[in-house]
Structure 1
Amino acid sequence: LNLMQNLQKEIGLTYLFISHNLSVVHHISDRVGVMYLGRLVELADKKILFNYPLHPYTQLLLDAIPDIRSVGKPRKKIQGEVPNPLEPPAGCTFHPRCPYAKDICRKVNPEMRKVENMGSIVEVACHAVGNWRK
């Protein structure tokens, strides 16, 4: 990873780095895209995304990271089962597991839209964004 970063700086490379390891993503990335069931749900600068996530899945994903300072405290769990990717639910594919799901989420698949978050422009696909904050 360090070699990749050195080459990136020396010759101006750009990477599309895909990983489930959020520590590695945090280490190597400038911008981060979060996907759920094969669909991009949030795209933001690394610092904004890791500190102020907007999409409910991103929030729950980051809350699930073990933290030595939180030993003994209960962690939030993502409720429900991952839908079958061959037969995804109508509307937002995350709605069966989302704590903020409303009727529109069950019917209309949200499009990525640009919103302001902590002074930065991020992209998020969620009907609930703007109606709640963490």
Structure 2
Amino acid sequence: LFISHDLAVVEHIATHVAVMYLGRIVEEGTAGDLFNNPSHPYTQALLASVLTPDPALGLPQIQLGIEYPNPIDPPSGCTFHPRCAKRKEKCSKVAPEPVIKSGKLVECHYPDNF
């Protein structure tokens, strides 16, 4: 078990990765699948936030809402919905069930929409 916020290190040493948000696993799969084809919007935002050494690529375009949920009193529905740029009404009302998408476990109502 290796816990880190440094995705570059995780990509090089892990064979299996789980991404957590507010204490819940929102996406889990092989490192290759997760880094090359993220399905959860939080995983996508995390990967988009990684800076590259090539200045020509510019700064990452991260689309996260600025509202930070309280981890002691998480929001109803999907805990990520206050920050998700792609949320829909259902996200604020119903907690998503984990589904298998492209060989990964994803906790999102709309993993195909990303």
Whether the aligned pair in 1 keeps the contact of 2:98 and 2:105 (CA below 8 Å) is yes
How far residue 82 of structure 1 moved from its aligned partner, in angstroms, is: 2.1
The code of the aligned residue for 1:96 comes to P
In 2, are the aligned partners of 1:100 and 1:128 still within 8 Å (CA)?
A: no
2:37 matched residue in structure 1:
52
Seen in structure 2, the aligned counterparts of structure 1 residues 123 and 70 have a Cα distance that, compared at 3 Å, is farther
Cα distance between partner residues in 2 of 1:128 and 1:40? 16
- Code of the residue aligned with 2:73 in structure 1: it is E
Quick one: structure 1 residues 72 and 50, their matched pair in 2 at CA, closer, same or farther if it must change by over 3 Å?
Answer: closer
Name the CA distance, whole Å, in 1 between partners of 2:33 and 2:54: 21
Give runs of ≥4 in structure 1 deviating > 6 Å: none
Aligned to 2:108: 126
| Matched length | 113
1:32-62 CA distance string (max 9 Å, x none) = 0000011000001101111110000000000
**Superposition deviation, residue 72 in structure 1:** 6.0
Q: CA deviation at 1:74?
A: 3.6
In 2: Cα distance, 1:82 partner to 1:25 partner: 25
- 1:6 aligns to what? none
Q: TM-score, normalised by structure 2?
A: 0.91
Distance, in Å, in 2 between the alignment partners of 1:25 and 1:19 is: 7
The 5-angstrom pairing of residues 18-33 of structure 1 reads 18-33=3-18
Moved more, 71-80 or 105-114: 71-80
User: What amino acid maps onto 1:93 in structure 2?
Assistant: T
Segments of structure 2 that go 5 or more residues without pairing to the other structure are none
Amino acid at match of 1:48: D
The corresponding residue for 2:72 is: 86
> Alignment partner of 2:34: what SS?
helix
* Distance of 2:94 and 2:17 partners within structure 1: 25
Higher helix share: 1
Identity of aligned residues (%): 47
